[in-house]
Amino acid sequence: MLKTAKYLLATAAFAAALCVSISGNAAFAAPDDEGDFSMSVPGVRMLTLDRRSLEFSPGGPELEAGFSEHKVVVASISANAEWMLVVSGSAAAWQGPWAKPVEDIQWRYGGGQYASLTMNEASVVSGGAQSKRSYPVHFRIKLDWENDVPGEYRYEYVMFQLTTP
């Protein structure tokens, strides 16, 4: 039994020395050895919106003023390269009792003037590398006593996109 224990101990010591020797050679490099890492990072631009729909409920005061109350969509942008946020409409008119034109949807960013939405891309704001910065975009609906007859109106879709400047 003592002979077997000595044999097992010697075998274990040899195996441990072999592991140290193998891992030692793999883990350490001589001072004149060199290693090389490479990576290709693409331009990445990410856009998230805080909501997917807006609902407006105009009444007499809004019809009299010619505009609905304003609602806000917050666009959050992360990017490692230059970017431009654009907005556009997907159709020329709303679905509803009459073909309310897309231009009746108006938007603005910051303290700027409201602009009518069109099917062409319009620049909202642009920037460079950043992480999760928020940009509130305000919307309102142009209203008219004669054209905006009672009924349900729906517009699909107001599109936000990040593009390269």
**What residue ranges define each of the domains in the chain, with the CATH number in brackets?**
45-163 (2.60.40.1090)
CB 77 within 8 A of CB 46: yes
* Total number of residues shown for the chain: 165
93 beta partners: 101
**pLDDT confidence tier of residue 19, bands split at 50, 70 and 90:** very low
- Output the pLDDT for position 2: 41
Tell me, rounded to whole angstroms, the distance of Cα 42 from its chain centroid. Answer: 16
Provide the pLDDT for residue 30. Answer: 63
Residue 81 has which token pair? 């390269």
**SS3 category, 126:** strand
Mean pLDDT, range 53-80, rounded to an integer: 96
| C-alpha Rg value of the chain to the nearest Å | 32
Note the pLDDT tens digit of each residue in 138-148.
999 999 999 99
> 35-58, pLDDT tens digit by residue?
889 999 999 999 999 999 999 999
Share of the chain above pLDDT 70, in %: 81
Per residue in 99-137, pLDDT (tens digit) is 999 999 999 999 899 999 999 999 999 999 999 999 999
| pLDDT higher than threshold 70 for residue 17 | no
Q: Higher-confidence residue: 104 or 19?
A: 104
Residue bearing the bigger pLDDT, 23 or 38 = 38
pLDDT at 34: 77
Question: Would you say 118 and 102 are in contact if contact means Cβ atoms under 8 Å apart?
Answer: yes
